[in-house]
Every structure is written in C-alpha cells, then in structure tokens.
Structure 1
Amino acid sequence: MLIAILNQSTLVSNDDAATMTQAIAAQVKLDVAPLWDRAPAAVIFYTNPQDVPAAAHGIALVDTIKDQPQGVLGFHTEDQGGKLWGVVAAKPELDNGGKPTTEDWSVSSVLSHEVLEMFIDPNCNLWANDSAGKSYSFEVCDPVEAPTYAVSGVSVSNFVTPAWFDPLSDHATAQYDKLGKLHAPFSILKGGYVVYESAGAEHQKYGDEFPTWRKKMKSGKLARTQRRLKQAEALFAHATA
C-alpha cells in the first residue's frame, strides 16, 4: 500500500507537511506494522500531484473541508472504484490552539490518525464483537486520540493493538495500545471515543477530556463515524430480518 500525502493548505508549509509525513512513515514502519503483524505501508509526501502514482491512495492537507459542517477535521473514504482518499483540515485545529507538528490535537496527529486508520481498515467495514452484546468499529486511533506521542519530535496519534478488539485477551499481559495506557479491551482514554452497536441502536461514547469543539469532526456526511453509524443500523436490520 502506498499512501500519498499532498499539501493544499495555506496554513501548513510544505516543510512542515514533509516533516509530518516522514514521522508518520516511520511510525507506520516501526510502531504500527510490527504490533499489527503487517507489511508496512509506504507514506510519501509529494509536492506535485502529477507525480503521485496511479495506484496510490491519497490524503490531502487543506485549510477547511468543503461541503462538511464547520470544524470537521478530517476523514477518509472510498470511491466507487475502490480508490481510497482522505482530507485533513488544518484550520479547525489551529483555531483551537493546536500546533502544526507538536503537542496533542496537532495537525500532524490528525494526519497520523487518518493514515493509520486507512492502513489498518482501509475499507472502513470491520467490526469486533465484545461477547457481551456490543459490536465495536475497527477504528485504531479513536479510543486513544490523546495523549499523543512524538516520533522524531513530531506529534503522532496513539493507536490500539489487535488485543483491544479481543474480549478473550489476557488483561495481565496484553498490550492494548502503543503507549500502554489501556488495560482492557474496548476501553477508552479520557481523550478518546468509540462507536459501537448495542441492542439495535448505534452509540458514540466520549472520554471525559475529549474536546467539545473536536466532536464536530465526527458529524460530516463523509466522516468515518457517520459511515460507522449507518453500518450499525444495517447490522441490526440484517440481524432482525
């Protein structure tokens, strides 16, 4: 898998975009791929869209996202031909005190979030049953959005491991997220959230410190959260048909 990063934002410099991309590429290769037992995706910054290979999936940095509610930060989706593409908006983060490449809620951490979720569940269609009546969406960054951690001085998103989706995992020995802050499957940090289906209804659960302004990013018609909620409705409809 090749994930091409393009910078179409006036608020983020090409130098910062390239620095983010290099850090995220290292994160995928050294952190995510080994913990998920997968071959790493290549994550490459391109200054010229015409240089992007036809087979690549793409994520563009922009100022704001058109045709989405104000404040939406990012999403990735799939077109009719199976092509994956995503967008990350810089302005909502920067307007709310975030920085381009450092600290929690940075532009780089949102880009990392979208890259990692594109890498692990590219088609946005995987769910995990907790064996207690709930099904959780396969979103590897949502439960642990903050705190972030640094790769080469760049803030990137924490992420959960396969054990997080396994109700039979050993709580005493399993690693549930990169930073080791979670201690049980299907749990969330104060700066995280989850989408799940239970008893025929779809739900969103937010941690105590998840910023109110950031919840707006989950409301866009193309956002993964909205796709997950629609999937939850379909899952229940199919189960009761």
Structure 2
Amino acid sequence: MPKPKFGAFNQGDIPKIAVFNKATIPLGVDLDQLIAAMQVYINQFIVPVWATPANLVKSTGFIAGAWAMVFLDDADQPGALAYHDLTPDGFPIAKVFVRTTLQNGDLVSVSASHELVEMLVDPAINLMTTGPDPAIIYAYESADPVEALTFPVNGIPMSDFVYPAYFEVFRKAGSVKFDQLGKVTQPFQILFLSGGYQIIFKAGQWSQVFGSASKKKAFVAEDRREHRSQQRTKAQLERADLKEIAKEEAKTAAGLRRAQRSGHSNAKARVLSRFNRRKRT
C-alpha cells in the first residue's frame, strides 16, 4: 500500500475557495456566471448529499487561508507546474486546463465542476475504500465513474457525481440513489455510455478500469499531467511556489510587451514604406 497522505482542512469551518483565471484562451463561458452556477451546484446538489459546503470567491490569485481553483491553458503554460498540488498555505487546489479540456472535446464548465466536487469530497486526495473485489482498493473519486454525464445548473452544464452509496458494496442494485442523475443502478458500476472510469490500487500499483474500450483509448491519449488524480502516486504533496509563478508570469508579460512593440514597429515600417513608394511615384 502507498504511504497515506493525511489531510484535515478547515475542520469546523466552511472553506472559502478562491477562483481565478490565468488562462490566455477563452473559457467558453463567462467566469462570473460559471462561479455563480458552481455555487448553486454546491449548495443545492453537493451539500445535501456529501455535506461538504464551500463558498466560492472570484479573485486574481491565491487568498490566504483559502482553497483554490485556477484556470490555466495547459501543463505547458509558463508557471503552470509551479502551482504544484496545494496552495501556498497548504490547502487544496483544483486546476482546470482549458486548452486540454477543449482539445478533448469537453466543456470547461463540466471539467471545473468535476474538479470541484472531487476536491470537496476528497480534499487531501487520500480517501480509498474496499469494494467488490477484495484484492482491489478503490479511490474515492466522486465524478470519474460518471464523468461524461452532465446536467444544467443556471443553464450551464455541470458534471454528474456519485453518491456515498456508490462506494457501499453492501447496497443492493436499485435500492437507493447512486448518482445525482439516477443513471447508476448499483455500487461501483461504471457506465458504458458515460465514458466513466475508476481509479484502483492493485498489486502495489495505481491503475484504472474503464467503462468501455473507447474510453480507455481516449484516456490514454489525454494529457494527464498535473491532474489531481495523478497526485495519488506522489509520496508528498507540494505547495505552490509563488516566486516561481511570479517569475514565469513576468517573463511571459515581458515577452508579450516585446511582441507588441515589435508589431507596432513593423506596422509603422510598412506604413512608411507604402508612403515612400507613393511619394516616389
């Protein structure tokens, strides 16, 4: 078994989650509207089932003492890797890679809500349980088994998620509700049509089981770097490096300024060239 990573966050308090956008490409949804929809998603759907409340706050960066959700282009964006696994204060962080999400044919709102519910249910990424196969330990990932299923909140698609009963192997098929949409009919079921999967630990290694061959093929093709689920393989989670993030962002900003100056100079040169040609004629 891997060495467990114990986490106890905001015991007795409702966590605040700072939501900020560092992506350079459009999210495909208004950020203010997305945050409002995700707050309803928490209050009306997640809390009654998982009892994990949180308050989302739009910000421009990390907030002291708060959890975080950051939107980035992809794992190759300058400074992206410096966000690591936790906030600078050691609290949970969810990263939504916009370009990667869109390239996979998914919606940013669905990816964000997926990461949100999983962060609320398992903030330290260390919850596991037994299941139908006694030789396997199953990760407590609340959106993966139904990740392709969605429902609208404030008109914005949000991710389906499983209920606690999904991880209770003693439940009989059809006896209770196993997911928000009511599509799952028994514990540990991975829906073929949903493109779901389950992270497992077996024979000393982490791996996945998939609902279909097509889902497995798509999963293998995805860029999984810096995904929360990948953190289960780490011996210790790292805190975000603010200095490295600031350095990379400053380098990017300087590069943009140089490009803009170069563009202005080139444009001016083209105008002068056309003017001189007309003058000669």
TM-score by length of 2: 0.68
The aligned amino acid for 2:75 is: I
Tell me the SS of whatever aligns to 2:215: coil
Tell me the SS of whatever aligns to 1:205: strand
Identity over aligned residues, as a percent? 31
Q: Kindly state the Cα deviation for residue 15 of structure 1 after the two structures are TM-superposed.
A: 6.6
Q: Kindly state the Cα deviation for residue 219 of structure 1 after the two structures are TM-superposed.
A: 3.5
Q: Kindly state the Cα deviation for residue 207 of structure 1 after the two structures are TM-superposed.
A: 2.1
Q: 2:90 matched to 1:82?
A: yes
CA distance in 2, matches of 1:197, 1:141: 18
Change (3 A) 1:39 1:80: closer
CA distance in 2, matches of 1:211, 1:131: 21
Task: Return the match for 2:156 from 149, 154, 175.
Answer: 154
Q: Kindly state the Cα deviation for residue 12 of structure 1 after the two structures are TM-superposed.
A: 2.3
By percentage of residues, which structure has more helix?
2
Partner of 2:227: 223
The aligned amino acid for 1:172 is: G
Q: Kindly state the Cα deviation for residue 33 of structure 1 after the two structures are TM-superposed.
A: 0.8
CA distance in 2, matches of 1:2, 1:225: 22
CA displacement, residues 34-60 of structure 1 (integer Å, 9 cap, x when unaligned): 011x151112222x33xx641111111
Unmatched segments (≥5 aa) in structure 2: 1-14, 236-281
By percentage of residues, which structure has more strand?
1
Change (3 A) 1:95 1:85: same
The aligned amino acid for 1:121 is: D
Structure ranking higher on relative contact order (CA contacts 8 Å, 6+ apart):
2
Task: Select the structure of larger CA radius of gyration.
Answer: 2
Unmatched segments (≥5 aa) in structure 1: 69-74, 99-104, 232-241
Change (3 A) 1:92 1:163: same
Contact 2:27 2:98 in 1 (8 A): no
Partner of 2:76: 66
Q: Kindly state the Cα deviation for residue 214 of structure 1 after the two structures are TM-superposed.
A: 4.7
Q: 2:95 matched to 1:94?
A: no
CA displacement, residues 131-189 of structure 1 (integer Å, 9 cap, x when unaligned): 53121101101111012111111111110110011111232321111111111111112
Change (3 A) 1:126 1:2: same
The aligned amino acid for 1:42 is: N
CA distance in 1, matches of 2:206, 2:29: 41
Tell me the SS of whatever aligns to 1:87: strand
Partner of 1:238: none
The aligned amino acid for 2:190 is: I
CA displacement, residues 179-222 of structure 1 (integer Å, 9 cap, x when unaligned): 111111111123111111234443311222537445455642x4
RMSD of the TM alignment (CA)? 2.8
Partner of 2:209: 205
Tell me the SS of whatever aligns to 2:38: helix
TM-score by length of 1: 0.78
In the alignment of these two chains, the number of paired residues is 214
Task: Return the match for 2:64 from 48, 54, 60.
Answer: 54
Q: Kindly state the Cα deviation for residue 87 of structure 1 after the two structures are TM-superposed.
A: 1.7
